[in-house]
Structure 1
Amino acid sequence: MFELYSPVKILASVATTLTFGYSSGLVTRTSVNTWYPTLIKPWFTPPNKVFPIAWSSLYLIMGVAAGIVWSHADNGDKLAKTGLKHFAVQFGLNMLWSYLFFGLKSPGLGLIEVVALWTSLYKTWTVFSAVDSVAGWLMLPYLSWVSYAAVLNASIWWLNP
């Protein structure tokens, strides 16, 4: 199994997820320091310094997972190609969430979108797991974090009518 993994594809995927993740984080910077502190947040909201650490780690491991699946796709695995399409969709939704929640300052739109993100991510996880168990396991922390983020988003929307 491990002989199928392409280090070049893994590194390219990691570089891509980190780069795009960083760029979507640029949308949040101003709002994190101005608008976000004015919101009423639930007791389980982590300190702001946790978010860049968590997201950088998640972008890193999801990049490794995508690189593993990409390695399989280049070996003719049609399910892997499907998984990469799902990955692209969920990653686009991931970046869109930052714009909706922070850029437009809309917890309501963020909540609607994070449900779509979670659904797309769940589908990505199921396909990645079918392609390669390591890729599936690597996506679980991300799926867990988005689940938590959805509850946090819903709570912020509820507390800030």
Structure 2
Amino acid sequence: MPVNLPMIGAMVLPNIGGWAGAFITKPNIPTWYEVTFEEARVASSELGVCPVWTSLYTSMGYASYLVYQSGGGFEGEARVPLMLYASQLALNWAWTPLFFGAKKLGLSVIEIGLLYGNILACAYAFSNVNRTAGLLMLPYIAWSTLACALTYCIWRDNGGDKNK
């Protein structure tokens, strides 16, 4: 069986932002996140955040590949769903430096709200092109629901952006 480089590329691409974000996140977990926020003890790296994100990024990448293949690429019905995918991926990658790097809790809440809406729109658009692709986005939606709630609760319970 030949190697499918476009499929592999689609699955690796989302992980690149995750790997880059890890360089911002990792040093801030013990020195800022776990020290400052009570909720962090529940949602820290011990829960396997890295493997979860790797699987989520990989599955959303595969979903994008399915949409690209099923929907005629960027010139077919896949165009809008893939644009939504690209924008949600950019928003996803932007959250980490905003929250962990700049420590802008209020902006992080706004940003993740925009991201969440974009994820829902992307998953819906994916499902209209390829049902499997839409279903592959469901774990990402579930995890993002938790991330939205946690981001909001951290902001609400810790006085907004004053905890830098």
TM-score normalised by length of structure 2: 0.87
The runs of 5 or more residues in structure 1 that have no matched partner are: 1-5
Query: Structure 2 residue aligned with 1:47, among 37, 44, 48?
Result: 44
Query: Structure 2 residue aligned with 1:27, among 24, 27, 38?
Result: 24
Contact conserved, 1:61 with 1:139, CA < 8 A, in 2?
Answer: yes
Tell me the C-alpha RMSD between the 2 structures.
Answer: 2.0
Which residue pairs with 1:3 in the alignment?
A: none
Determine which structure has greater relative contact order: mean sequence separation of CA pairs < 8 Å that are 6+ residues apart, divided by chain length: 1
Identity between Structure 1 and Structure 2 (%): 29
Which residue pairs with 2:62 in the alignment?
A: 64
What letter matches 1:79 in structure 2?
E
Q: Call closer, same or farther: CA 1:22–1:108 in 2, change over 3 Å.
A: same
Distance 2:27 2:37 in 1: 18
Which residue pairs with 1:96 in the alignment?
A: 94
Question: Is 1:159 the counterpart of 2:157 in the alignment?
Answer: yes
Query: Structure 1 residue aligned with 2:143, among 128, 141, 145?
Result: 145
Paired residues for 1:76-115 under 5 Å: 78-115=76-113
**Count of equivalent residues:** 156
Contact conserved, 1:41 with 1:155, CA < 8 A, in 2?
Answer: no
Query: Structure 2 residue aligned with 1:130, among 128, 132, 140?
Result: 128
Which residue pairs with 1:16 in the alignment?
A: 13
The runs of 5 or more residues in structure 2 that have no matched partner are: 160-164
Contact conserved, 2:34 with 2:44, CA < 8 A, in 1?
Answer: no
What letter matches 2:14 in structure 1?
T
Q: CA deviation at 1:76?
A: 7.4
